[in-house]
Every structure is written in structure tokens, then in C-alpha cells.
Amino acid sequence: MGIAKKTRNIGHIVEGKAKETTGRALGNKGLQRRGKAEQAMGKMKQAVEKGRETFKH
């Protein structure tokens, strides 16, 4: 996995966690759900990249 993709995926996870936490603090369910979705997207992309890397070697 390239460093740029890895950083981008981790960025999605961190940004999603921040949105989820902010949504929880403000009582904003929509923001909280979007944060969880963004975290899931980052984790999924990270898993796909790890799988691709495994098959390359």
C-alpha cells in the first residue's frame, strides 16, 4: 500500500471519529451517523489495499 493511500484512509478514519464525537456531543444524530459511515469507509478501503498488497507479493 502506498503511503499516500494509507494516509488518506487513516485520514477518513480520524475525520469520521471527529464527526461522530462532535455529533454525540451536540446531540446531532445525522452528524454522528455520517462520522460512523466515514470511519467504515476508511477501514474498508484500508482492508482492500492490504488485500491487494497481499496478492501482489
Q: Note the pLDDT tens digit of each residue in 16-55.
A: 999 999 999 999 999 999 999 999 999 999 999 888 888 8
- The more confident residue out of 53 and 12 is 12
Closest CA to 13 of 41, 50, 34, 48: 41
Instruction: Give alpha helix (H) positions in 1-57.
Output: 3-26, 29-56
Residue 18's pLDDT is what?
Answer: 98
39: Cβ–Cβ under 8 A, 6 or more apart, which residues? Answer: 12, 13, 16, 17, 20
The pTM assigned to this predicted structure is: 0.83
